[in-house]
C-alpha cells in the first residue's frame, strides 16, 4: 500500500534483504540468480546485475565456489542499520516527518537528530525511510475485537486508518492502492480489515475491490489533513472560524449555496462519506451475504 519511489534495483535489494532478515534466505543459502531476478521482477539484465552487485558491496551476499552468490555467513543483526538500532532510527525519522513533513525527512536529518554521522546510516536507508515510517505508523494501530457484521467491521477499520492519518498527516501520501508494499504493519492492517469479508460469497476480485475501495476513500479524504493543519497554522483559525470570518464579505455569495448555519469539516465529511461508501458496498455484498 506504500508508494515506492526507489529505482527498480533498490526495490530488488530491499526485497532480498527482507527475505534474509526474516530467515527465508539463511546464511549460505543461494540467492536468486541474475536470470531468476529478471524473471521474478521483470527487469533487464543490467538492473538484476546492479542489484546483486549492491547486495555484495553491502556485505549481504558473497560468492561461493560452484554455487554462485549466497547469503553471507556474517551479517549485521536484522534490527540494526549501520550499527544503529533500526527502531531508534525509524522513531527519529517519524518525529522529523511529524514536525516538518516529508520534505524535511532525509538520512542527514535523522543522523543529526540522533547525533551520529550521516555515513553511519545504511547506504540505502535514505530511500527506505518513507517505507519504514509508513510501516511503523500502521504498526502503532491497536486492533480491537472485531464487531459482528461486515459493515461494522469495515467502519472500525476505516476509523483506525483515519486515526493513523490524524496522528501522522504525512502518511496518506505514502499509501498506494495500486502499488502496495508488503510490509508487516501494512499487512497486519490488511489482514485484520479483510476478516470483515470472511464468510461472504465474494470472489477474490470483488473481495479485493471492496477492501481497496474503503482504504482509498479514507486515504483520499485524509490527504486534506496536512493541508488543513498548515492552513490553520498560517491563519490562526479553524475551518469553522475561517468560514465565519468570511461571512461579512462573502455572505451573499455563500447564501446562494447553503444556509449560513450549515457546517462541514474534515471529521463530518469523513463520517458522512464513509456511511455512503458502506451504503454503496451493501449493493455488492448483501445479495451474496451468508451472515450479517
pLDDT attached to residue 134: 92
Same fold? 8-71, 150-288: no
Alpha helices in 195-237 (DSSP H): 204-235
| pLDDT higher than threshold 80 for residue 43 | yes
Q: Which fold has domain 80-123?
A: Arc Repressor Mutant, subunit A (1.10.10)
In the predicted model, is pLDDT for residue 124 greater than 90? Answer: no
44-90 tens-digit pLDDT:
888 888 888 878 766 778 877 666 788 887 543 344 444 556 778 88
Residue 213: count of CB within 10 angstroms of its CB: 17
Q: Is 59 left (phi over 0), alpha (psi -120 to 50) or beta?
A: left
CATH number of 8-71: 1.10.10.10
Look at strands 80-81 and 68-71 and give their pairing: unpaired
Q: pTM for the full model?
A: 0.64
pLDDT in tens, 230-289: 776 667 766 666 566 666 676 666 666 666 666 778 899 999 999 999 999 999 987 654
What are 44's three cell numbers?
533487464
Residues 55, 60, 63, 69, CA torsion sign: negative
- Rounded to 10 degrees, the C-alpha dihedral 154/157/162/168 comes to -160
Q: Domain boundaries in the chain?
A: 8-71, 80-123, 150-288
Name the superfamily (CATH) of residues 150-288: Tetracycline Repressor, domain 2 (1.10.357.10)
Residue 290: pLDDT band by 50, 70, 90 thresholds? very low
Amino acid at each position: 500500500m506504500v508508494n515506492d519511489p526507489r529505482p527498480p534495483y533498490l526495490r530488488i535489494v530491499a526485497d532480498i534483504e527482507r527475505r534474509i532478515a526474516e530467515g527465508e534466505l539463511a546464511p549460505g543459502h543461494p540467492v536468486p540468480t541474475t536470470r531468476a531476478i529478471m524473471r521474478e521482477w521483470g527487469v533487464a539484465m543490467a538492473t538484476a546485475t546492479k542489484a546483486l552487485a549492491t547486495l555484495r558491496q553491502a556485505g549481504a551476499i558473497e560468492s561461493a565456489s560452484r554455487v554462485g552468490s549466497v547469503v553471507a555467513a556474517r551479517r549485521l543483526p536484522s534490527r540494526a542499520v549501520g550499527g544503529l538500532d533500526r527502531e531508534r532510527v525509524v522513531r527519529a525519522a517519524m518525529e522529523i516527518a511529524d514536525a516538518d513533513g516529508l520534505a524535511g525527512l532525509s538520512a542527514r536529518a535523522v543522523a543529526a537528530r540522533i547525533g551520529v554521522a550521516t555515513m553511519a546510516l545504511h547506504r540505502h536507508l535514505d530511500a527506505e525511510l518513507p517505507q519504514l515510517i509508513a510501516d511503523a505508523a500502521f504498526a502503532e494501530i491497536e486492533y480491537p475485537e472485531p464487531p459482528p457484521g461486515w459493515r461494522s467491521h469495515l467502519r472500525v477499520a476505516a476509523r483506525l486508518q483515519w486515526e493513523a492519518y490524524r496522528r501522522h498527516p504525512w502518511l496518506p501520501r505514502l499509501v498506494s492502492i495500486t502499488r502496495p508494499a508488503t510490509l508487516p504493519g501494512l499487512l497486519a492492517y490488511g489482514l485484520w480489515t479483510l476478516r470483515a469479508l470472511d464468510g461472504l460469497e465474494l470472489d477474490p476480485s470483488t473481495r479485493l475491490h471492496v477492501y481497496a475501495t474503503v482504504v482509498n476513500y479514507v486515504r483520499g479524504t485524509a490527504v486534506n489533513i496536512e493541508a488543513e493543519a498548515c492552513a490553520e497554522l498560517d491563519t490562526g483559525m479553524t475551518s469553522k472560524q475561517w468560514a465565519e470570518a468570511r461571512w461579512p464579505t462573502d455572505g451573499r455569495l455563500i447564501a446562494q449555496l447553503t444556509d449560513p448555519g450549515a457546517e462541514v469539516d474534515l471529521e463530518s465529511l469523513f463520517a458522512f462519506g464513509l456511511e455512503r461508501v458502506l451504503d454503496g458496498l451493501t449493493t455488492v455484498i448483501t445479495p451474496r451475504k451468508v451472515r450479517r
